[in-house]
Amino acid sequence: MLKTVTELMLHHQLVFEEGRINLFGMPISMVSPYFVVELQKELEKKNLDNLIYFVARNFGKHWFNSMGDSYGLKMKDVMKWGPNIISLAGWGKVTVRKKKDSEKSLFVTLEKSVNSEIYGKSSKAVDHLFRGLVCGAWSYVYGEDLDAIETKCRAKGDKICEFVIMPKKNFDLTNAEIKRQLLLPNL
């Protein structure tokens, strides 16, 4: 992880100023995942927790677009920096398991998801924030709005979390769980 920080600082992609941190030109701040989990649990009471996925997806796409404009990021850069940034942010260890460019699909795993650890046991997958961010990043890479579902989650008792990212039309929307994860909450 220190190697990532050193490399980013060396290329002025991570800049520390007094009271401000910029990562690839975007201000970032350190917020404990306890905050995200607390927010998620409050939203769940009103059945609005999937909002986190949709907001993270929009934000992820916007962030990678902005990094792309400033740094000319290509797919290989996103493959390299995406997992490094997630790891650096303290969200877990990301691995791209399978990538099918012809189908614009991606299969990734997240080990040691901190959010799901803090969340505790659940009957549902809980990593909406990561699911949205990775989906936004790959929507940028493939130049198309994609969707993502979490097929395995530590909170459900699985060993690691697993995600499938691809165009919405390729998901089986007759499957109630997939449909639930892709449903925009009714505000």
Please, which residues have CB within 8 angstroms of residue 90's CB and are 6 or more apart in sequence?
33, 114
Pick between residue 115 and residue 139 the one whose CB is nearest to Zn ion.
115
Fill in the per-residue mask, 74 to 113: x = in contact with Zn ion (CB under 5 A), - = not in contact.
Answer: ---------------------------------------x
> Could you give the 3-state DSSP secondary structure of residue 159?
coil
- Residue 99 Cβ vs Zn ion, minimum distance, rounded to whole Å: 20
Pick between residue 137 and residue 150 the one whose CB is nearest to Zn ion.
150
- Residue 125 Cβ vs Zn ion, minimum distance, rounded to whole Å: 5
Nearest CA to 118 among 110, 109, 127? Answer: 127
- Residue 90 Cβ vs Zn ion, minimum distance, rounded to whole Å: 15
Q: Does 127 bind Zn ion (CB under 5 A)?
A: yes
Among 40, 116, 139, 181, binds Zn ion (CB under 5 A): 116
Nearest CA to 109 among 156, 166, 157, 162? Answer: 162
Q: How far is residue 176 from each of residues 75, 117, 182, measured CA to CA in Å?
A: 32, 25, 10
Angular region, 25: left φ>0, alpha ψ -120 to 50, beta rest: left
Pick between residue 104 and residue 128 the one whose CB is nearest to Zn ion.
128
Residues that bind Zn ion (CB under 5 A): 113, 116, 127, 153, 161
